[in-house]
Amino acid sequence: MKLHKSILLPAAAMLVLGSCSENAWNDHLDGFQAPTAAEGVTTATYVLTAADYSTIASLDANKTLAEAAGESDALAAIGTNGCFATEEQAQKYIPALLATTDKNLPYFTYNNESSVKVSYNVSSALPAIVKGVNAGTPTYKVTTPDYIDAWGDDEEFINAFCPSVPAAEFIPEILEEKMKDAAAGSYVVVNYNESSANPDFGGDDTPGPSKPVWNETNLLGSVTLDQNVEIHGIVTAINARGFVLSDKGGSILCYQASGFDQGLVPLYSQVIVKGKVSAYNKGYQIAINAGEYEVGEVGAYTYPAPVTVDGAAMDAAIAATEDFTAKYVKLTGTLSISGNYYNFTVAGAETAQGSFYMTPDFIKSQVEDGQEYDIYGYFTSISGGRYYNICVTQIAQPGAKTAIRSIKRVSAGSIVAVEKNLLYQYDGNAWKNVSDAYVLNPADYQAMGNTYGSLSQAQRDKDLPIFLKQNYPYAAEGDTKTLVYTYYANSETSNQAREYVLQDGVWSANLGEGVSQFTKVDGEWVFNPSIVITLPYARNTDPSYTYYMECVNWVYENICVPMGDTSLTSGKYFIDYRGNAEFYSGASAFYGNVDVRASSALSHCPEGYTGYDGLTDDEITLLMKKRFCTEVMLHALEALHPDVKPAGDMEVTITVNFTVYDGGSNDANVVYKVVGPGQLEYVSTTCVEPGEDSDWK
């Protein structure tokens, strides 16, 4: 087996100078103590917080730098966007944060040669679609002439697409004509109108309706028990057993005894229900069965002003003797959750208690036990002599503005068209819909209580995670969603995109990840991607233990296992019985050095090994040094520092200071050049005489 490291180093670059006293060591394999950190200059890792970006943009030192470079707007954008535009920008402006003395950060106290590895958000590391949209994406609004061209008739047309004139067919043609200078890879947000039904212009040669025409009724304000009705309404609330249907006259509960599929009846869809009005627990309702009602276009809806209900009004309501249709109400109450029961109390109610009716999961996910909320929804029935049943539509913190949804109609006869947005990309030959990004529609902004159709920074950060939680209630952990939205800042709007990731049940923005190392030199923090690692010659001490154990593990997996070894502690190949020292190149986590004595190599090689045949002791020692410098330590560093990478014209190196033991202790170093992400190349070492490594490169 592989002995796991007892310390997990941060991926941070480590500069460790000096040494510390030797700790007691347990020679037995079981019960090794975790190594303690060596004393010396400080090393640390730090992840920028949301507040740090605003701080970085406000620091006087950075403002001076930005002004001199003509980058004042770019610096301000760091605070606004909560991320850097590029890694180079981060490397330029983070040092001032590390040096500041008034932000409760400790780094100004660090000694020279200390290092901090900082993780941050950087837009250049974002997914391609996000970078592409944010680079500057226009909006194209489909015009009346465009619709006329699509319909092929300047008299019989509507300002909308529909099943017989589909948006998917005609939008690419419109973009090809109107955006002839588009570059390959460019994006555009298309704003258009769409109807779920074909218009009826009259005559036999025009497209007929694809389904029964929806024409909103005005019946629900005056229905009576046992009345047969045909209601053309909008679904304004969803529950586990049906929905609330609203027309111009009022609202009614449509109840399905079993098997109701919420996914087949989206909120704000236009529905035609036929049936007989019945009553249950004083609430009028219509019994429905799957497949017996027509579901049409999903639009939006403007809720009426709710009737505010206090405790006294609740007590009066539960004493009702007449049947009633559903009433849109607002109550402020404290929630009590017990299993599937979601009840709430309202101040002043002596008997009545509120109860969520057949609560759907997307409502449950928004509330917590014991919290006070403003509760909006439809009062549908009374039960148990005291329960005021409400089909919930919205939950808000007390006093918060609630979501308002409105429907935009583009009429031709009884046709209803809804305003929509889609994202298209030009691939160099044709415009194609980008299906893996969702563009917020006008109705979505209105659902957020936003009447302007755009989001400020604060609105974006607050509302988009809520939007995802409500619209993707069944998303799995780790799922990602890319949202495209209209962003308002500095008195201007622009199309922007963000990728969100569901982590621990919360939708969080993925703003890209960058990592840079900074070193304190002559009292100043500077970007320094090169790494100097000093491995103290001491037992039970990090970082020596971790780096040398990585050497041991590499030798075991890449040299010993292919030769037939089955245990790190077998003691039969190049690794001793403790499993913490290897004699292929001499790395010893036990002693904290590199033992290159020929006698050690010969006494710890596999039986029958011929690799040293014919070599003198000096030649064996030189071979071990070569193995250590060009194989073992090189690969150990690549494993421990996978995030190192070249930095433009700057040469990035990793230097390891270590101790060679050849009967006496000698200080040495080995230098590697970073030639690619996580890839190193041997440069030089002081553990051999000049020229002895001429064939190592």
What's the rounded mean pLDDT across residues 125-131?
Answer: 85
* Contact predicate 58/102, CB 8 Å: no
Closest CA to 191 of 512, 400, 439: 439
- Beta strands (DSSP E) in 27-179 are 36-37, 43-47, 115-120, 139-141
301-314 residue pLDDT tens: 788 889 999 999 99
In this prediction, residue 498 carries a pLDDT of 92
Query: Can you give the three-state secondary structure of 427-473, one letter per residue?
Result: CCCCEEECCCCEECCHHHHHHCCCCCCCECHHHHHHHHHHHHHHHCC
In this prediction, residue 5 carries a pLDDT of 29
Strands 43-47 and 341-345: unpaired
Domain ranges of the chain: 43-120, 133-198+411-510, 307-396, 536-685
In this prediction, residue 406 carries a pLDDT of 41
What's the rounded mean pLDDT across residues 201-226?
Answer: 73
In this prediction, residue 375 carries a pLDDT of 93
Using CB atoms within 10 Å of the CB of residue 680, give its burial: 0 to 12 exposed, 13 to 18 middle, 19+ buried. Answer: buried
What's the rounded mean pLDDT across residues 652-661?
Answer: 93
In this prediction, residue 301 carries a pLDDT of 77
Lowest-pLDDT range of 15-24, 373-382, 486-495: 15-24
Tell me how far the alpha carbon of residue 84 is from its chain's centroid.
Answer: 17
Strands 593-595 and 307-308: unpaired
Round to whole Å and give the CA distance between 490 and 456.
10
Confidence band of 2 (pLDDT split at 50, 70, 90): very low
Instruction: Name the residue with higher pLDDT: 7 or 142.
Output: 142
Query: How many angstroms separate the Cα of 455 from the Cα of each of 474, 484, 520?
Result: 25, 11, 41
464-491 burial code (b ≥16 CB/10 A, e <16): bbebbbbebeebeeeeebbbbbbbbbee
- For the ranges 44-48, 239-243, 265-269, 546-550, the maximum mean pLDDT occurs at 546-550
pTM: 0.44
87-124 residue pLDDT tens: 889 999 999 999 999 888 999 999 888 889 898 988 87
Closest CA to 378 of 365, 394, 400: 394
Instruction: Name the residue with higher pLDDT: 21 or 264.
Output: 264
**Given a cut of 60, is residue 189 above it in pLDDT?**
yes
Return the CATH fold of 307-396: OB fold (Dihydrolipoamide Acetyltransferase, E2P) (2.40.50)
What's the rounded mean pLDDT across residues 263-270?
Answer: 80
Confidence band of 158 (pLDDT split at 50, 70, 90): confident
Confidence band of 366 (pLDDT split at 50, 70, 90): confident
Round to whole Å and give the CA distance between 511 and 282.
52
Confidence band of 205 (pLDDT split at 50, 70, 90): very low
What's the rounded mean pLDDT across residues 167-179?
Answer: 94
What does residue 611 show for φ and ψ, rounded to 5 degrees? -65, -20
**Given a cut of 90, is residue 211 above it in pLDDT?**
no
Round to whole Å and give the CA distance between 421 and 193.
9
Strands 327-338 and 372-383: antiparallel
In this prediction, residue 339 carries a pLDDT of 82
Report the SS3 class of residue 113.
coil
Instruction: Name the residue with higher pLDDT: 417 or 385.
Output: 385
Cis peptide bond prior to 642, omega within 30° of 0 = no
Using CB atoms within 10 Å of the CB of residue 101, give its burial: 0 to 12 exposed, 13 to 18 middle, 19+ buried. Answer: exposed
In this prediction, residue 490 carries a pLDDT of 66
48-69 residue pLDDT tens: 887 899 999 999 999 999 999 9
Report CA Rg, the chain.
35
Confidence band of 38 (pLDDT split at 50, 70, 90): very low
In this prediction, residue 416 carries a pLDDT of 66
What percentage of the chain exceeds 90 in pLDDT?
52
**Given a cut of 80, is residue 17 above it in pLDDT?**
no
Average per-residue pLDDT in the chain? 85
In this prediction, residue 325 carries a pLDDT of 95
